[in-house]
Structure 1
Amino acid sequence: MKRARGGAIVLFLLLAVDFGIAQNTIGKADGFHVGVILDLGSPVGKVARTSVLLAVQDFYAAHRNYSTKLVLHVRDSMGSDIKAASAAIELLENYKVQAIIGPQKSSEVVFISKLGNITQVPIVSFTATSPSLTCDSMPYFVQATPDDSAQVNSIASLVQAYGWREVVAVYDDTDYGRGIVPYLADALQKIDVRVPYRSVIPSSATSETIIKKLTELMAMQTRVFIVHMSSTMTSLLFMKAKELGMMNQGFAWITTSGVANIMDTLNPRVIEAMNGVLGVRYHVSRSQELDNLSKRWNKMYLQDNPDESPSNKLSIVGLWGYDTIWALARAAEKVGVSNTTNKPLLSIKNSTCLESMTISTKGHELLKTIVQNKFKGFGGEFDLTYRQQHKAYVFQIINVVGRGWREIGFWTVKSGLSRQLKQDGFKKTGQQSMHDLNPVIWPGESTKIPMGWEIPAVGKKLRVGVRSSKIPEFIKTYKDAVKNATTVSGLTVDIFEEAVKRLPFPLSYEYLEFDTTDTRSYNDFVYHVYLQEYDIAVADITIRYNRSLYVDFTVPYTESGVGMIVPVKENVMKDVWLFLKPLSTEMWIGSIILFMYTGVVVWLLEYLNGNEHVHGPFSLKQLATTIFSIFEES
């Protein structure tokens, strides 16, 4: 009896072990392994991690009958391209992942996408936004987010609305930072806005480097800055800008969507330093479903990040990550799990060399299914046609105030800038659109729109070249040996200084005398402006064709020619008899008598010649004939 019981127990244990092995086997067979590479120390990485984990839970709660389950393997890149690449290799070798979500940075994509090309594993990123990523050299890379070029027209419209003529681009020296510059420059050029300087911040910049770069910007005239940097570098930049007084009245700052999208996740001290900044971010319409998702996301985010501020909110980046997981889960169900892999010819055991990697047999099919997957997601229409998100997005213009932000307006392709989101297609352009936006609280808590530039105290003065004229009334120069300065006078100088006074901004300048001791002509004087020894030349310079090849001339204030000066009488008759003034009274009487005498003579001659029209009693007809004959004879 005991032996029977013992055998039964052993048999039960063996069955349990077999069932456990079967369970593990089934789990492995049904598990669709996906790698997730994020910088978990960054605000974007934290938001994205919570979003993708919540998306997996929600998807399979809504699709309980699906047999293929996503198994996520999250890796921390720590903001390093090398660690991100190492994590990708480890995921491909040890877990044979069939897709990789991420990487987070555009620079990480460049190398990891090459691994995807070799292993035929799709690389899907909803955070890498560089416009240069979607190309033929990355056939297995999918950009599940609009690239940065989508927002440049909204930024250009904002610059045009406030009447700024020059801006300075501030960006970090990374693929992400450099990618937007050509598109931004083209958009600004279309509205005749110059970018006189580009401030490139090294990716490893310290506080001292940031201060040095900001000091260079303070020495320039332009006071409008467009910032396109990572959230970490942007936070450091504005903290130092506030210390240097660059967040005071007269300055204007615009941040791109990279920071504006995650404004709620930034440190409160950083947001306070950014007061007055304008931001361009993607707009998502509110709904009951989105509110419910946000509540569940906030709860999960606080569980994963207990030390974080409870004010952090679900951003558009998190929504893109959420939608990406749903798209991948649907594609995985259609494609199924890849149980077999083709090994390359060279294989090295227990090695992280590229030769030891396996090639996914369903990678191409999975990629095709992902890009054909279209649905209405929380972040908008999810459409990855041509391996990139393509749609007409709505941008929200925000203004950082206090420890938060307020809405200024919206921008769409059809309607341009507007206070309320409208779809009527009526588009206002230029400074007219500014009146259709909510008021802005600018840096320094000012409500006055910054002019856009000013002459800094440490800046260079405008170099004005002058030379004496043979006619001193036009311009006369002489050197003050005591003050070591050039003094000028004359009509030309008065016109120049009056024009400077009428400028809407202060202009600092100095006169530099052109040496005329030798026989150098006005041509040489003009050519020195072309050589940039002078910024402008003020003198009695005649506009000639050969000189216009090197410099631009203003509208001439004098012109050559012959004129006549006549006295003017103020008591001139101003009535209908003004035409009588050219002749005196005696002249008019003499003319009338002469006219009457001529008429009598003509009538007499016609009468003697037997003209039948002048015979008979006198009539108006005879008088008319006589007058006509007078003019005919004369």
Structure 2
Amino acid sequence: MMTPRISFDADMLLFLALSFSAIVVSSSDGPHLAVAQSSDNSATTIPVNVGVIVDLKTWVGQMGLTCVNMSLSDFYSSNPSHKTRLVLNVRDSEGDEVAAAAAALDLIKNKQVQAIIGPQSSGQADFILHLGNKSHVPIISFSATNPFLSSIRNPYFIRAAQNDSSQVKAISAVVQAFGWREAVLIYVDNEFGEGIIPSLTDALEEVDTRVSHRSLIPPSATDDQIGLELYKLMTMQTRVFIVHMLPTLGQRLFAKAKEVGMMERGYVWILTNGITDLLSSVDSSVVASSMQGILGIKTYVPHTRNLDNFMVQWKKKFQQDNPSVPSPPLNIFGYYAYDAARALAMAVEEMGTGNFTFQILNASTDVTDLDTFGVSQTGEKLLQELANTTFMGLTGNFSLVDGQLESSVFQIVNINGNAARGIGFWTLKNGLLRDLNPFHTNKYSTSKSNFGTIIWPGDSTSIPKGWELPTNGKSLKILVPVKDGFKQYVTVTRDPTTNTSQVTGYCIDIFRAVIEKMPYAVTYELIPFAFPNGSSAGGYNDMIDQVYYQNYDAVVSDMTIRANRSLYVEFTLPYTESMGAMLVPYKNNKSKNAWVFLKPLTWDLWLTTGCFFVFIALVVWILEHQINEDFGGPAAHQVGTSLWFSFSTMVFAQRERSFSNLTRFVVIVWVFVVLILTQSYTASLSSLLVVQNYQPTITDMYQLLNSGERVGCQYDSFLCETLKQMKFGDDRLVSYQSVEECDALLSKGSSRVGLQLQLTKSATLNSSFSILQQIYHDPDI
């Protein structure tokens, strides 16, 4: 049945504006008209048409309309000298996008409203925004929080509320504080639910938390459908659930979660402000029985005297307008509606008493309604005034940034009993805080120590780890090698009585440490690669084949990463250095004869040094023998004195004085050279006498290949294959499986069918075999 429309022309509208002394709101389902209260100088006020689109069958719509009326009444009562008065033209959207769009079209075309407060939901606003952009009529919504409704793409859209995405940093800070690494997103399958998901996912990834699953709940889902989705979530290992939906669907979700056993110890539930801000509208029995222990993000509203006075007046006003609704709960959207109406009234007054008219762009016939409505001549100026409007509202400082309210504070709450108890705060500047102390430092905190006491689901005070073993999870089958020797890395001990095996070793310890650090459960079974009698079933390449053919899930061992193996399986990053080394006999170059003092310098250097002694003696004699009597006398005496002077400079024992400055310069240079020679000689001789000088008998693989000696390599090591590729014959290769066997082969030597790789029999034999064990423990590492 069509609802009859009531239309008013401009003269009638002005008459009503001047006649009404109080705000009048029709209680019928048809259009509503409200005129703001005027003062005695009402004859000089200018009425300005403003539209209001809300769903009058919902609690938010009724509450929002009452708050808008109260806001205008309070504003004009406290400012009787203002020249403008907002005239409200109310339309019921009936919870339908088409009806909301039709209402907006009617308000713009027929009423020529200068602005529209509403619509109520994000879905309804999506189409109305285009009408506002085309007609230059600002659309001011106090409850459409979908982030996709951006003022950047829709310049005439004003969000007099907070964007849903403004809380994602607070949610990720809570998750990071408790170290949870996976989370499941549960949200309603509509515009409201989907809008926050991209930014929330990004915020969680920034703190190294992965969204393991997204669960969409249709708005009209039955209890059975909700139950099936929850049962599916129970089979997963993640136990951290972030819920974003409205209370009507949320209370049904948690009632079902309680029924299936998902409100017990170990579960974590985090609510966005979609529910926590409207918790008062949730059935108290559901809160008390099915929502205990839940964490929530709540929009923080500072407690002020102005807010207390408003709540008292609002209850009286709402009960007058809606006597059939007992004990009405007031929530954040009522505050937003009150502040939005006040901001609009202030912006219109700042514009002055200009001509609030529309320009018709298309007056031709045979066109649709979308073609015939005009463009507001004051819309752009009104938009600018709204952007510049600031005042202290019910929710704090009202200031629009990029066309919407921004808040830097959220409260973290914990639901216990019938209410949400505050346990901390989150601010954009300081992160998680226990209280809003104005003297906090600039350091950003994500420490859980900033929270108060938290009661988790199941009446537990222990922090849930965020995951549990899945009810139908798959256990990984992990292969480990069975080796006869070099068991320090992997050791398989078989118990014949129980036919079970115990696996230990360095590689196993690292594997188990990694599993314990995983942020979620991984069940596994270590399976020895052996025959029923306990003997090895194959080597490393055979185990790789088992993984490649998907008979097993992984291999844990001291296995070398090789190019040919990487063609079939993936390797983790190495945790030890992989290398091959030769262990060969050494030769001691330490001299045992009496002429060891000649070893530090070569014969060429000895000869050069002696020549320089003679040369310096000659230079000194040439410079001194004519002026220095010490260098005079018979020829033999002159030669002896000059040589003695040159040699005695090493110990500064010369008796002869030098008279020539050139001689002194030569002596200084010569003393410096002698000092270097003596120090170098002393250091080299000390090294020869003290340090053992071992040199390998074989220095490279090609020398070993040409020597014809037998070479040992560990059994089933890739080095044996590498040696064959280097032209080592099978008759020259001897494999060993333990340190003891390697010792025996090295001790025999090639002459006794052993290896020509011998260790010196000395007191250092045990330590040498320790080195051997480190090098040859297993070339497959």
Q: Structure 2-normalised TM-score? A: 0.61
Q: Distance in 1 between matches of 2:325 and 2:18?
A: 39
Higher RCO (CA-CA < 8 Å; seq separation 6+) = 1
2:70 alignment partner in structure 1: 54
Deviation at 1:364, TM superposition (A): 1.6
Q: Distance in 2 between matches of 1:269 and 1:88?
A: 39
Deviation at 1:156, TM superposition (A): 1.1
Matched, 1:87 2:107: no
Q: Distance in 1 between matches of 2:345 and 2:230?
A: 47
Matched, 1:177 2:169: no
Matched, 1:437 2:445: no
Q: Distance in 2 between matches of 1:208 and 1:269?
A: 21
Q: Distance in 1 between matches of 2:415 and 2:14?
A: 57
Structure 1, unaligned runs of 5 or more: 1-18, 479-485, 565-612, 614-627
Structure 2, unaligned runs of 5 or more: 1-10, 20-34, 36-44, 531-536, 585-652, 654-681, 690-781
2:778 alignment partner in structure 1: none
1:602 alignment partner in structure 2: none
Give the match's secondary structure for 1:383. Answer: strand
Farther-moved stretch of structure 1 (549-558 vs 103-112): 549-558
Code of the residue aligned with 1:541 in structure 2: it is M
Q: Distance in 2 between matches of 1:512 and 1:45?
A: 64
Farther-moved stretch of structure 1 (46-55 vs 103-112): 46-55
Q: Percent identity?
A: 39
Listed one character per residue, the Cα deviations across residues 461-482 of structure 1 (whole Å, up to 9, x for unaligned) are 232242655659757799xxxx
Listed one character per residue, the Cα deviations across residues 494-543 of structure 1 (whole Å, up to 9, x for unaligned) are 658965996798654457899989997455456568xxx86644345334
Give the match's secondary structure for 2:402. Answer: helix
1:98 alignment partner in structure 2: 114
2:305 alignment partner in structure 1: 288
Q: Distance in 2 between matches of 1:325 and 1:291?
A: 19
Farther-moved stretch of structure 1 (335-344 vs 436-445): 335-344
Matched, 1:270 2:286: yes
Code of the residue aligned with 1:550 in structure 2: it is E
Give the match's secondary structure for 2:161. Answer: coil
Give the match's secondary structure for 1:384. Answer: strand
Q: Distance in 2 between matches of 1:149 and 1:248?
A: 29
2:460 alignment partner in structure 1: 446
Deviation at 1:208, TM superposition (A): 2.3
Matched, 1:372 2:392: no
Code of the residue aligned with 1:293 in structure 2: it is F
Matched, 1:163 2:179: yes
Code of the residue aligned with 2:570 in structure 1: it is Y
Q: Distance in 2 between matches of 1:188 and 1:519?
A: 40
State whether residues 100 and 123 of structure 1, in contact with CA within 8 Å, keep that contact through their aligned partners in structure 2: yes
1:401 alignment partner in structure 2: 416
Q: Distance in 1 between matches of 2:106 and 2:368?
A: 7
1:576 alignment partner in structure 2: none
Q: Distance in 2 between matches of 1:22 and 1:94?
A: 15
Deviation at 1:152, TM superposition (A): 1.2
Counterparts in 2 of 1:501 and 1:393: CA distance versus 1, 3 Å: closer
Q: Distance in 1 between matches of 2:17 and 2:165?
A: 47
1:323 alignment partner in structure 2: 339
Deviation at 1:173, TM superposition (A): 2.2
State whether residues 142 and 387 of structure 1, in contact with CA within 8 Å, keep that contact through their aligned partners in structure 2: yes
Q: Distance in 2 between matches of 1:423 and 1:489?
A: 59
Q: Distance in 2 between matches of 1:563 and 1:491?
A: 28
State whether residues 546 and 552 of structure 2, in contact with CA within 8 Å, keep that contact through their aligned partners in structure 1: no
Q: Distance in 1 between matches of 2:286 and 2:14?
A: 54
Matched, 1:423 2:430: no
State whether residues 294 and 457 of structure 2, in contact with CA within 8 Å, keep that contact through their aligned partners in structure 1: yes
Matched, 1:23 2:40: no
State whether residues 529 and 543 of structure 2, in contact with CA within 8 Å, keep that contact through their aligned partners in structure 1: no
2:572 alignment partner in structure 1: 552
Deviation at 1:199, TM superposition (A): 1.4
Farther-moved stretch of structure 1 (496-505 vs 233-242): 496-505
2:706 alignment partner in structure 1: none
1:341 alignment partner in structure 2: 358
State whether residues 323 and 382 of structure 1, in contact with CA within 8 Å, keep that contact through their aligned partners in structure 2: yes
Q: Distance in 2 between matches of 1:84 and 1:462?
A: 54
Matched, 1:153 2:169: yes
Give the match's secondary structure for 1:264. Answer: helix
Matched, 1:455 2:475: no
1:238 alignment partner, one of 239, 243, 254? 254
Code of the residue aligned with 1:73 in structure 2: it is N
State whether residues 144 and 320 of structure 1, in contact with CA within 8 Å, keep that contact through their aligned partners in structure 2: yes
State whether residues 561 and 571 of structure 2, in contact with CA within 8 Å, keep that contact through their aligned partners in structure 1: no
Q: Distance in 1 between matches of 2:435 and 2:90?
A: 41
Q: Distance in 1 between matches of 2:475 and 2:420?
A: 39
Listed one character per residue, the Cα deviations across residues 53-94 of structure 1 (whole Å, up to 9, x for unaligned) are 211211111112223211223333333222221221232233
Counterparts in 2 of 1:138 and 1:414: CA distance versus 1, 3 Å: closer
Matched, 1:214 2:230: yes
1:570 alignment partner in structure 2: none
Deviation at 1:451, TM superposition (A): 1.1
Deviation at 1:154, TM superposition (A): 1.1
State whether residues 387 and 401 of structure 2, in contact with CA within 8 Å, keep that contact through their aligned partners in structure 1: yes
Matched, 1:297 2:314: yes
Listed one character per residue, the Cα deviations across residues 358-383 of structure 1 (whole Å, up to 9, x for unaligned) are 32222122112111212222212212
Give the match's secondary structure for 2:405. Answer: coil
Q: Distance in 2 between matches of 1:142 and 1:80?
A: 21
Deviation at 1:22, TM superposition (A): 7.8
Counterparts in 2 of 1:367 and 1:348: CA distance versus 1, 3 Å: farther
Deviation at 1:339, TM superposition (A): 5.0
2:701 alignment partner in structure 1: none
Q: Structure 1-normalised TM-score? A: 0.75
Q: Distance in 2 between matches of 1:201 and 1:538?
A: 42
Q: Distance in 1 between matches of 2:319 and 2:368?
A: 36
Q: Distance in 2 between matches of 1:89 and 1:21?
A: 19
Listed one character per residue, the Cα deviations across residues 528-580 of structure 1 (whole Å, up to 9, x for unaligned) are 68xxx86644345334467679342574699987999xxxxxxxxxxxxxxxx
Counterparts in 2 of 1:518 and 1:442: CA distance versus 1, 3 Å: closer
Q: Distance in 1 between matches of 2:408 and 2:346?
A: 24
Matched, 1:138 2:154: yes
State whether residues 479 and 552 of structure 2, in contact with CA within 8 Å, keep that contact through their aligned partners in structure 1: no
Listed one character per residue, the Cα deviations across residues 158-208 of structure 1 (whole Å, up to 9, x for unaligned) are 111122121111112222222222222222222211111111222332322
Q: Distance in 2 between matches of 1:286 and 1:25?
A: 36
Counterparts in 2 of 1:526 and 1:310: CA distance versus 1, 3 Å: same
Deviation at 1:218, TM superposition (A): 0.9
Q: Distance in 1 between matches of 2:511 and 2:131?
A: 65
Give the match's secondary structure for 1:323. Answer: helix
Counterparts in 2 of 1:519 and 1:194: CA distance versus 1, 3 Å: closer
Q: Distance in 1 between matches of 2:100 and 2:237?
A: 41
Listed one character per residue, the Cα deviations across residues 434-488 of structure 1 (whole Å, up to 9, x for unaligned) are 122111111122111111110132x32232242655659757799xxxxxxx976
How many positions carry a matched residue from both structures?
A: 537
Counterparts in 2 of 1:138 and 1:454: CA distance versus 1, 3 Å: same
Listed one character per residue, the Cα deviations across residues 192-245 of structure 1 (whole Å, up to 9, x for unaligned) are 111111112223323222222211111111111111112222222112111111
Listed one character per residue, the Cα deviations across residues 14-35 of structure 1 (whole Å, up to 9, x for unaligned) are xxxxx99983586799332222
Q: Within 5 Å, which residues of 2 pair with 1:554-633?
A: 555=575
Code of the residue aligned with 2:312 in structure 1: it is K
Give the greater-gyration-radius structure (CA). 2
State whether residues 297 and 410 of structure 2, in contact with CA within 8 Å, keep that contact through their aligned partners in structure 1: yes
State whether residues 68 and 341 of structure 2, in contact with CA within 8 Å, keep that contact through their aligned partners in structure 1: yes
Deviation at 1:141, TM superposition (A): 1.0
Farther-moved stretch of structure 1 (147-156 vs 68-77): 68-77
